């Protein structure tokens, strides 16, 4: 099995976070290497080409497309306002004129003398990219964006819905095994990132949307509820663009699973701190996990681009978590790493490791079925 | 149910000997009816000799009648019929009464006359004067108004047995007013006593024939409603795949790829012909599809009026598809009202404009093969459809797809998917199933001498 | 490629997948051409390595250690063979790293030129992201929006036969021009666009697309309605794949330099070996490769090759999509124990977000194999719908066709004519017991008549595909000897079964001298042990007149059948799809089949 996906989720108090801030298409970058930026500061901007509206002007005039240019009153590149005349035929002694009007305000993109089509492009839509986190610009990709780097607390989730939001961390009452239902949510959670629990009910989530909660970080969620929430099933784990009203991050998986103690403790300690979270998940080559980032703004952010060390495999003594039945969600430490393949109950022959689980059990399980918890 | 097989079965059934058998028997029935009509006609002319001969009275009586003829004094009364009964028909609407009597066994009357009165004492009104001696029943209509307004509870009837020559005497006496004439006849003929009858109506006609009819009508209506309802609720109403219809879209696609037009010929018959109507309906769907593909369609017409309608239909198709600007009126063309001039003109279009797809739907005659062969030479995909049985073999041999008979009428429902059209198509299919089943059962039963099925339907017919 | 096959004695082949790079060594031994050693290493296309050759060298090193043959020379693959197990004569490779080759195709009519273009793209091993056509029911501005969203590696544009429509083709080109599409990998490169449509429109196409893209012209994929000419477009896609897509991926310039024949997209190579085997043995073959994200189906029927990619049917990344498309009920009909539905959904969801995990318990394995059945079944349905005869072709008829007017676009995949099914991909190749793979394939493909079933032992079809382009004979030898593992054959009658009557009579010699004569009823699945070497004469008689075993409805078939690792399966569970009762009989029925086949411990 490839090692690409075995790296565990990062759950750490101190981490050098680098964020690529890129425009979807070419544009202008407003910052330079070394600049200190705030999370809400715009670092790059551009304008997306506006929507395109084709109209068959030759047919509207009732002429052969080949002669269209002769009757056009505007040319490629000209800007027009809605209902402005684009083309007209002279008619007969001022009568029987026919004309074609612009259906939208914009510019003329092209005029076709084969199909008779005139393509209008509406006004461009401005796009801005902010810094997302407080930090320092360590690299500028000309025309595209920059890389912002900062020392920060970093917690990666396993699956998320919704895009980037920022807000204050608000912990709910109760422990890591709490079920987040509407009773836990209060009016002053509006605009905040609510953290806690092992599971959020559909009702709880709907209540949070009503209240205007910015984000929710919890242990688990029912796979069924996604369909209920979005109106479609997420068949392939590529998310981030959902219009949910908030950003949801689950740290453990689908079902009712206690949030890992380390994660829970770390987030508990950040009550009231401003966090940047992103639900975008992409489980494919080039994996993207949802994340909670809280920058340590009191520390001096280095202007040097930090080069992360190559990931290492699991070794004896590491803390790991089971990610497949029957050990799902259980945490333990690696006791040994046998070299030989072993047959599991399912008769599948796999590479294994021996784990001493926190509840005192020892077990042998496939290496692919654990993830290391980085600290 | 496959409509194609149904059609075939239907044709087979038509050709079967059992069906042929039933035809002469029908003819025999109608002969009977005719003769009675003729009989009545003859009598009114007053020529009793002819009619008597025609009626083939027993020879003994013939002589007696000959003797009796002559002066009024010669007229000898004949005994009146016996056992007159007046009853309301079983499944009566309340408008009729059935009379039945038995003629005197020894002497035969020349004619029977029926009279009606509202009380046993009269006044009597002659209902019918000249029933021949072999007729012993009569159904009297007491009122014309279906609401039974003014109908009395009771009516009285008498039947007179007219002796030979009496009516001739009445004619001679120039008795034209019915009342006078009846008085004369009544005075010179024997009559049954006045018998009362009550024209009682019933609400429901429970005769077998009527019930069968009602059942068929209700089933047909019910099926229509049921299928329409199902189709509206979005349930799939299965219609078997008809490759020829599916091929229409394929043909349009081919024309699009080749940059050539589609040629559509809606037959050469008048607009009111059912095949032309079906064809024009299909043209609407076809032109919509053509517009969606942003391709061109040429329609050639043999009848000016068809051209006008076709043009409107094509225009509507382009509008519905959302490409009103791509519609060209000049592509719907009137060629000629002359069959072969039209054929030559259309062939010219096939050869010059080289349409990629030719669609011939409607009523065709001798030009069918000429058109289809030209199209074949031009390497067009050809889809034909006609209910003209004589032209089908040519189309089948020369075209890619041929819609046979009824399939032509199914196309517009099939293409549009309109629940109403689809459900009526489906319902009529089931009726065909019923018809074919009846024919098969009737044929079999008839072959083994059981004519109950035929009787059932005869009763339904009445 | 001017390589003389007779001079080759040893070949190293690699396949750079998105997660693993697999290296395989083929050698000319005393026993003829054989696959001798294999090794694998993680693919190194992404950060932090960003050089595909490191993974290739790692995998080659593993082979070197196992075989004792020197393969790696410093930072190079050592060619040619110096003799004495030093170096190899040929180095070849395939690649599907970075999500493979993603294409957008365009044509005039969806079921005609657009479909031909799609066939060319799929045959070249690409994933078709979207197909644009005049009649795709989208308005031009919707099409433009969509093209903008997509970031294909290239665009294949077809449309119109030669001398055919001009305006439709130009309209599509204008739409593409208006969208100004950009490549997936970004950078300063223009998007490659291949034009393979009406040759008369080339000047207009050039005028509209030349400045926006890297435009190349190939022969029309549909020169006349009656014929396809996919070769030139397919070759061009391969060339551009090398020049553009590969050239931009880290390390590929070096890899291309090493390889003695052009690097092929993995699915194109698999298609190639399937075609080669079908041609050499003159049989009809269906091949399937079920991966984590996608399932590829290949078929060769009467020389017509087709490939489809079911982009969202897979066993890990796309597993939830299998659930969404098949529905829970369809999956449940293969699970031989009662299960809580919500729990099953969460389980599948968790496999999606942790795609590399391995089923440890038996129940997990059974659930995973149930899902695999549905993924395969759905992918095969999609394939059947795509692998059809050309549409828009003139037909010649006689009067005898009056009541038998067959429609056009019938599927080419005729199950009764199918001779061999080859399965590959983790869930099939690495199932703990081979008989599990056999049953998965029987259940999902529902073969009819007598069909051989095999699996790819260690997923070396891509390697053999490229190898076959150099040395077809050697490649097929290795394919038969080392790659294919014959599981056995399946005998099943086609047609709707009357459940209350006997279905099939089997009279057959048994291995070891005995014989059997049995009548099977409905819903039975039997396994008769027999190896590939056993040639068993048998007479198989359908006992219901509508059932067909290949000789026509109701007619008996006399044939020699051969077994395999598992044996000969007799299946009377219904066709075209296996019928599983969904009430309380489900678990006992499934358990009976499982026990008969000896599937699970």
Question: Both C84 and C104 in a single domain?
Answer: no
Q: The domain spanning residue A244 has which CATH number?
A: 3.50.30
In a domain, C375, yes or no: no
ipTM for the whole predicted complex goes beyond 0.90: no
Check CB contact under 8 Å for A346 and C364.
yes
Question: Both C179 and C249 in a single domain?
Answer: yes
Taking only the tens place, the pLDDT of each residue in B436-454 is 998 898 888 888 888 777 7
Taking only the tens place, the pLDDT of each residue in A7-53 is 567 788 888 888 888 887 778 899 999 889 999 999 998 887 777 78
Across B392-396, average pLDDT: 91
Question: Both C67 and C148 in a single domain?
Answer: no
Q: Specify the pLDDT at position A217.
A: 92
In a domain, C74, yes or no: yes
Question: Both C435 and C547 in a single domain?
Answer: yes
Check CB contact under 8 Å for A368 and C350.
no
Tell me the C-alpha distance between C306 and C238, whole Å.
Answer: 17
Question: Both A215 and A266 in a single domain?
Answer: yes
Q: The domain spanning residue C146 has which CATH number?
A: 3.40.50.280
Pick from C28, C63, C97: which residue ends a domain? C97
Question: Both C24 and C167 in a single domain?
Answer: no
Better-predicted residue by pLDDT, C20 or C230? C230
Instruction: Give which of C356, C426, C427, C428 to mutate to test A binding, by max A Cβ within 10 Å.
Output: C356
Q: In the predicted model, is pLDDT for residue C505 greater than 90?
A: yes
Count of domains observed in chain C: 3
Grade residue B55 by pLDDT with cuts at 50, 70 and 90: very low
Question: Both C527 and C492 in a single domain?
Answer: yes
Question: Both A169 and A285 in a single domain?
Answer: yes
Across C398-408, average pLDDT: 70
Check CB contact under 8 Å for C318 and A235.
yes
Q: Is A312 exposed, middle or buried (0-12, 13-18, 19+ CB in 10 A)?
A: exposed
Q: Which domains does chain B have, with CATH numbers?
A: 45-197 (2.60.40.10), 243-417 (3.40.50)
Q: In the predicted model, is pLDDT for residue A3 greater than 50?
A: no
Q: Specify the pLDDT at position B350.
A: 95
| Residues of C whose CB is below 8 A from A310 | 48
Tell me the C-alpha distance between C287 and C282, whole Å.
Answer: 15
In a domain, A308, yes or no: no
Find the helix or strand (DSSP H, E) in which C73 lies: strand C72-73
Question: Both C104 and C84 in a single domain?
Answer: no
Residue A38, SS3 per DSSP: coil
Tell me the C-alpha distance between B254 and B235, whole Å.
Answer: 32
Question: Both C75 and C224 in a single domain?
Answer: no
Q: Is A310 exposed, middle or buried (0-12, 13-18, 19+ CB in 10 A)?
A: exposed
- What is the β-pairing status of strands C213-217 and C264-265? unpaired
In a domain, C133, yes or no: yes
Question: Both A118 and A229 in a single domain?
Answer: no
Question: Both C252 and C130 in a single domain?
Answer: yes
Q: Which B-chain residues 406-445 have CB contacts (< 8 A) with chain C?
A: none
Q: Which residue of C has its CA nearest to B250?
A: C392
Pick from C97, C116, C142: which residue ends a domain? C97
In a domain, C319, yes or no: no
Taking only the tens place, the pLDDT of each residue in B230-273 is 776 767 777 777 888 888 889 999 999 999 999 999 999 999 99
Check CB contact under 8 Å for C354 and A281.
no
Question: Both A228 and A112 in a single domain?
Answer: no
Token representation of residue B207: 């005769």
Tell me the C-alpha distance between B388 and B404, whole Å.
Answer: 9
What are the residues whose beta carbons fall under 8 Å from the beta carbon of A157, sequence distance 6 or more? A9, A217, A249, A250, A251, A281, A289, A290, A291, A292
User: Which residue range is the domain that position C169 belongs to?
Assistant: 100-257
Question: Both C83 and C187 in a single domain?
Answer: no
Question: Both A282 and A324 in a single domain?
Answer: no
Pick from A122, A144, A167: which residue ends a domain? A122
In a domain, A137, yes or no: no
**How close B145 comes to chain C (CA, Å)?**
54
Pick from A103, A122, A141: which residue ends a domain? A122
Question: Both A281 and A353 in a single domain?
Answer: no
Tell me the C-alpha distance between C286 and C304, whole Å.
Answer: 12
What would you measure as the largest C-alpha separation in chain C, in angstroms?
76
Chain Cα centroid distance, residue C93 = 18
Taking only the tens place, the pLDDT of each residue in B101-127 is 888 777 777 788 888 888 888 788 888
Give one word for C91, left, alpha or beta, with left for phi > 0 and alpha for psi -120 to 50.
beta
**How close B252 comes to chain C (CA, Å)?**
9
**CB burial string B382-401: b at 16+ within 10 A, e below:** bbbbbbbeebbebbbbbbbb
| Residues of B whose CB is below 8 A from C399 | 393, 396-397
- Which of A122-126, C52-56, C59-63 shows the lowest per-residue confidence on average (mean pLDDT)? A122-126
Q: In the predicted model, is pLDDT for residue C105 greater than 70?
A: yes
Question: Both A108 and A180 in a single domain?
Answer: no
Of C320, C325, C360, the CB nearest to A344: C360
Q: Which residue of B has its CA nearest to A61?
A: B325
Q: Specify the pLDDT at position C526.
A: 92
Question: Both A214 and A335 in a single domain?
Answer: no
- What is the β-pairing status of strands A85-88 and A52-56? unpaired
Question: Both A187 and A230 in a single domain?
Answer: yes
Taking only the tens place, the pLDDT of each residue in A337-375 is 888 888 888 888 888 889 998 888 888 888 888 887 765
In a domain, A27, yes or no: no
Question: Both A336 and A223 in a single domain?
Answer: no
In a domain, A134, yes or no: no
Backbone angles phi, psi at C190, to 5 degrees: -80, 150
Q: The domain spanning residue A102 has which CATH number?
A: 2.40.50
Q: Which C-chain residues 225-244 have CB contacts (< 8 A) with chain B?
A: 225
| Residues of A whose CB is below 8 A from B323 | 59
Of A110, A235, A328, the CB nearest to C320: A235
pTM: 0.76
In a domain, A211, yes or no: yes
In a domain, A351, yes or no: yes
Q: In the predicted model, is pLDDT for residue C583 greater than 90?
A: no
Grade residue C520 by pLDDT with cuts at 50, 70 and 90: very high
- Which of B1-10, C319-328, C477-486 shows the lowest per-residue confidence on average (mean pLDDT)? B1-10
Question: Both A332 and A283 in a single domain?
Answer: no
Tell me the C-alpha distance between A316 and C179, whole Å.
Answer: 55
| Residues of C whose CB is below 8 A from A115 | 167, 170-171, 174
Q: Is A59 on the interface with B (CB under 8 A)?
A: yes
- Is B434:B187 a contact under the CB 8 Å cutoff? no
Write out chain B in H/E/C secondary structure: CCHHHHHHHHHHHHHCHHHHHHHHHHHHHHHHHHHHHHHHHHHHCCCHHHHHHHHCCCHHHHHHHHHHCCCHHHCCCCCCCEEEEEECCCCCCCCEEEEEEECCCCCCCCEEEEEEECCCCCCCEEEEEEECCCCCEEEEECCCCCCCCCCCCCEEEEEEEECCCHHHHHHHCCCCCHHHHHHHHHHHCEECCCEEECCCCCCCCCCHHHHHHHHHHHHHHHHHHHHHHHHHCCCCCCCCCCHHHHHHHHHHHHHHHHCCCEEEECCCCCCCCHHHHHHHHHHHHHHHHHHHCCCCEEEEECCHHHHHHHHHHHHHHHHHHCCHHHCCHHHEEECCCCHHHHHHHHHHHHHHHCCCEEEEECCCCCHHHHHHHHHHHCCCEEEEEECCCCCHHHHHHHCCEEEECCHHHHHHHHHHCCHHHHHHHHHHHHHHHHHHHHHHHHHHHHHCCCCHHHHHHHHHHC
Chains in touch with C (≥3 Cβ pairs < 8 A):
A, B
- Is B266:B279 a contact under the CB 8 Å cutoff? yes
| Residues of C whose CB is below 8 A from A124 | none
Question: Both C60 and C163 in a single domain?
Answer: no
Taking only the tens place, the pLDDT of each residue in B129-180 is 788 878 888 888 877 666 666 677 788 888 888 887 777 777 887 877 878 8
Q: Specify the pLDDT at position C185.
A: 59
Taking only the tens place, the pLDDT of each residue in A194-248 is 998 888 888 999 999 999 999 999 988 888 888 888 888 787 778 888 888 899 9
What is the residue whose two structure tokens read 């068929």? Answer: B216
- Is A195:A171 a contact under the CB 8 Å cutoff? yes
In a domain, C267, yes or no: no
Of B5, B259, B402, the CB nearest to C166: B259
Tell me the C-alpha distance between A222 and A200, whole Å.
Answer: 8
Q: Specify the pLDDT at position A230.
A: 84
Q: Which residue of A has its CA nearest to C322?
A: A235
**Smallest Cα–Cα separation from C295: which of C384, C357, C379, C361?**
C379
Q: Specify the pLDDT at position B25.
A: 39
Q: Is C149 on the interface with A (CB under 8 A)?
A: no
Chains in touch with A (≥3 Cβ pairs < 8 A):
B, C
| Residues of A whose CB is below 8 A from B259 | none
Grade residue B57 by pLDDT with cuts at 50, 70 and 90: very low
Q: Which residue of A has its CA nearest to B325?
A: A59
Pick from C48, C67, C97: which residue ends a domain? C97
**How close C391 comes to chain B (CA, Å)?**
7
In a domain, C444, yes or no: yes
User: Which residue range is the domain that position A100 belongs to?
Assistant: 52-122
Question: Both C298 and C250 in a single domain?
Answer: no
Count of domains observed in chain A: 3
């Amino acid at each position: 099995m490839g090692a690409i996906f075995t790296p565990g989720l990062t759950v750490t108090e101190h981490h050098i976070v680098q964020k690529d801030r890129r425009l979807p298409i070419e544009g202008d970058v407003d910052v330079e290497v070394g600049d200190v930026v705030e999370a809400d500061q715009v670092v790059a901007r551009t304008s997306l080409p506006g929507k395109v509206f084709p109209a068959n002007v030759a047919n509207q005039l009732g002429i052969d497309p080949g002669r269209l240019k002769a009757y056009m009153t505007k040319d490629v590149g000209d800007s027009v306002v809605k209902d402005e005349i684009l083309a007209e035929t002279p008619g007969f002694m001022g009568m029987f004129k026919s004309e074609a009007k612009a259906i939208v305000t914009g510019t003329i993109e092209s005029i076709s003398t084969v199909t008779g089509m005139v393509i209008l492009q509406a006004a461009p839509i401005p796009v801005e990219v902010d810094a997302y986190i407080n930090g320092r610009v360590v690299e500028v990709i000309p025309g595209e964006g920059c890389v912002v780097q900062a020392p920060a607390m970093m917690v990666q989730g396993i699956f998320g819905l919704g895009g980037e939001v920022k807000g204050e961390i608000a912990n709910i009452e109760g422990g890591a095994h709490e079920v987040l239902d509407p009773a836990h949510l209060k009016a002053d959670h509006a605009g905040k990132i609510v953290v806690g629990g092992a599971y959020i009910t559909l009702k709880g989530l709907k209540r949070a949307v009503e209240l205007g909660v910015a984000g929710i970080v919890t242990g688990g969620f029912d796979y069924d509820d996604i369909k209920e929430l979005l109106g479609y099933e997420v068949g392939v784990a590529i998310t981030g663009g959902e219009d949910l009203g908030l950003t949801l991050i689950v740290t453990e998986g689908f079902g009712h699973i206690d949030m890992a103690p380390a994660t829970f403790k770390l987030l508990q300690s950040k009550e009231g701190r401003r966090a940047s979270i992103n639900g975008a998940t992409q489980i494919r080559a080039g994996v993207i996990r949802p994340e909670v980032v809280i920058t340590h703004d009191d520390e001096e952010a280095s202007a040097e681009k930090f080069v992360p060390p190559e990931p290492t495999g699991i070794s004896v003594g590491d803390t790991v978590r089971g990610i497949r039945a029957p050990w799902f969600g259980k945490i333990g430490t690696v006791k040994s790493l046998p070299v030989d393949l072993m047959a599991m109950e399912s008769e599948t022959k796999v590479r294994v490791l021996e784990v001493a689980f926190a509840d005192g059990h020892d077990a042998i399980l496939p290496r692919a079925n654990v993830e290391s918890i980085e600290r | 149910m496959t409509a194609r097989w149904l059609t075939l079965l239907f044709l087979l059934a038509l050709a079967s000997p059992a069906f042929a058998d039933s035809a002469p028997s029908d003819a025999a029935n109608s002969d009977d009816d005719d003769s009675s009509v003729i009989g009545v006609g003859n009598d009114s002319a007053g020529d009793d000799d002819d009619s008597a001969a025609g009626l083939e009275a027993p020879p003994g009586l013939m002589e007696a009648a000959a003797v009796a003829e002559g002066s009024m004094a010669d007229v000898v009364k004949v005994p009146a019929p016996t056992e007159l009964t007046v009853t309301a028909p079983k499944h009566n609407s309340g408008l009729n009464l059935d009379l039945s009597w038995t003629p005197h066994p020894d002497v035969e009357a020349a004619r029977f006359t029926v009279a009606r009165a509202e009380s046993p004492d009269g006044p009597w009104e002659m209902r019918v004067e000249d029933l021949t001696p072999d007729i012993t029943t009569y159904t009297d209509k007491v009122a014309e108004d279906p609401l039974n307004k003014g109908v009395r509870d009771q009516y009285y009837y008498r039947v007179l047995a007219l002796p030979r020559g009496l009516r001739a005497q009445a004619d001679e006496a120039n008795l034209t007013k019915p009342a006078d004439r009846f008085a004369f006849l009544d005075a010179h003929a024997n009559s049954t006593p006045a018998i009362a009858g009550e024209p009682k109506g019933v609400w429901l006609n429970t005769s077998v024939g009527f019930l069968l009819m009602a059942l068929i009508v209700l089933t047909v209506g019910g099926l229509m409603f049921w299928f329409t309802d199902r189709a509206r609720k979005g349930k799939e109403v299965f219609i078997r795949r008809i490759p020829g219809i599916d091929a229409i879209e394929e043909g349009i696609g081919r024309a699009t790829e080749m940059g050539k037009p589609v040629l559509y010929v809606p037959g050469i018959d008048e607009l009111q012909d059912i095949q032309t109507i079906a064809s024009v309906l299909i043209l609407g769907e076809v032109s919509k599809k053509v517009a969606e593909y942003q391709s061109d369609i040429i329609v050639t017409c043999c009848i000016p009026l068809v051209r006008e309608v076709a043009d409107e239909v094509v225009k509507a198709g382009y509008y519905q598809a959302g490409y009103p600007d791509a519609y060209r009126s000049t592509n719907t063309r009137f060629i000629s009202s002359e069959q072969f001039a039209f054929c030559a003109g259309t062939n010219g279009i096939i050869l010059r404009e080289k349409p990629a797809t030719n669609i011939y739907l409607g009523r065709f005659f001798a030009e069918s093969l000429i058109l289809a062969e030209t199209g074949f030479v031009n390497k067009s995909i050809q889809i034909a459809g006609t209910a003209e049985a004589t032209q089908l073999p040519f189309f089948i041999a020369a075209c890619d797809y041929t819609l046979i008979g009824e399939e032509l009428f199914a196309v517009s429902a099939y293409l549009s998917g309109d629940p109403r059209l689809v459900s009526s198509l489906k319902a009529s299919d089931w009726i065909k199933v019923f018809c074919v089943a009846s024919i098969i059962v009737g044929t079999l039963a008839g072959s083994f001498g059981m004519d109950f099925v035929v009787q059932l339907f005869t009763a339904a017919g009445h | 490629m001017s390589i003389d096959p007779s001079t080759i004695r040893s070949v190293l082949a690699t396949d750079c997948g998105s997660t693993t790079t697999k290296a395989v060594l083929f050698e000319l031994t005393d026993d003829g051409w054989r696959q001798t050693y294999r090794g694998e290493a993680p693919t190194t296309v992404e950060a932090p390595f960003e050089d595909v050759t490191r993974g290739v060298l790692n995998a080659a090193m593993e082979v070197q250690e196992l075989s004792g043959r020197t393969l790696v020379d410093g930072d190079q693959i050592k060619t040619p063979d110096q003799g004495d197990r030093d170096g190899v004569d040929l180095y070849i490779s395939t690649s599907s790293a970075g999500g493979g080759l993603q294409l957008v195709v365009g044509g005039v009519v969806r079921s005609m030129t657009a479909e031909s273009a799609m066939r060319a793209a799929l045959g070249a091993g690409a994933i078709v992201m979207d197909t644009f056509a005049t009649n795709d029911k989208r308005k031009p501005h919707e099409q433009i929006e969509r093209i903008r969203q997509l970031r294909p590696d290239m665009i294949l544009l077809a449309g119109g036969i030669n001398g055919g429509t001009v305006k439709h083709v130009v309209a599509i080109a204008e739409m593409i021009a208006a969208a100004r599409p950009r490549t997936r990998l970004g950078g300063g490169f223009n998007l490659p666009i291949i034009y393979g449509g009406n040759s008369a429109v080339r000047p207009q196409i050039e005028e509209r697309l030349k400045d926006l893209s890297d435009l190349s012209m190939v022969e029309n994929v549909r020169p006349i309605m009656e014929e396809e000419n996919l070769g030139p477009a397919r070759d061009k896609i391969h060339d551009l794949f090398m020049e553009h897509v590969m050239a931009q991926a880290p390390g590929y310039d070096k890899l291309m330099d090493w390889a003695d024949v052009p690097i092929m997209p993995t699915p194109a190579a698999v298609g190639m070996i399937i075609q080669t085997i079908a041609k050499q043995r003159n049989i009809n073959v269906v091949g399937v490769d079920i991966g984590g994200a996608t399932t590829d189906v290949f078929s060769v029927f009467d020389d017509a090759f087709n490939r489809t990619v079911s982009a969202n049917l897979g066993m890990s990344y796309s597993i939830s999509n299998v659930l969404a498309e098949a529905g829970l009920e369809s999956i449940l009909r293969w699970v031989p124990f009662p299960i809580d539905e919500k729990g099953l959904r969460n389980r599948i969801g968790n496999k999606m977000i942790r795609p590399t995990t391995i089923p440890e318990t038996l129940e997990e394995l059974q659930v995973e194999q149930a899902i695999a059945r549905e993924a395969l079944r759905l992918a095969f349905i999609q394939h059947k719908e795509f692998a059809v005869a050309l549409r828009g072709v003139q037909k010649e008829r006689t009067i005898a066709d009056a009541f038998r007017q067959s429609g056009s676009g019938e599927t080419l995949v005729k199950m009764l004519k199918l001779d061999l099914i080859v399965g590959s991909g983790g869930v099939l190749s690495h199932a703990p017991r081979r008989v599990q793979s056999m049953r998965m394939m029987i259940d999902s493909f529902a073969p009819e008549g007598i069909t051989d079933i095999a699996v790819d032992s260690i997923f070396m079809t891509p390697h053999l595909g490229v190898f076959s382009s150099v040395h077809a004979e050697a490649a097929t030898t290795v394919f038969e000897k080392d790659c294919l593992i014959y599981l056995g054959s399946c005998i099943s009658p086609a047609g709707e079964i009357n459940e209350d009557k006997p279905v099939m009579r089997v009279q057959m010699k048994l291995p070891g001298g005995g014989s059997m004569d049995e009548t099977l009823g409905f819903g039975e699945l039997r396994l008769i042990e027999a190896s590939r070497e056993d040639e068993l004469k048998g007479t198989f008689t359908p006992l219901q007149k509508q059932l067909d075993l290949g000789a026509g409805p109701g007619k008996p078939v006399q044939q020699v059948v051969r077994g395999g690792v598992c044996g000969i399966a007799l299946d009377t569970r219904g066709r075209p799809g296996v019928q599983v009762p969904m009430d309380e009989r489900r678990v006992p029925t499934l358990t009976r089949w499982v026990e008969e086949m000896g599937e699970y411990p």
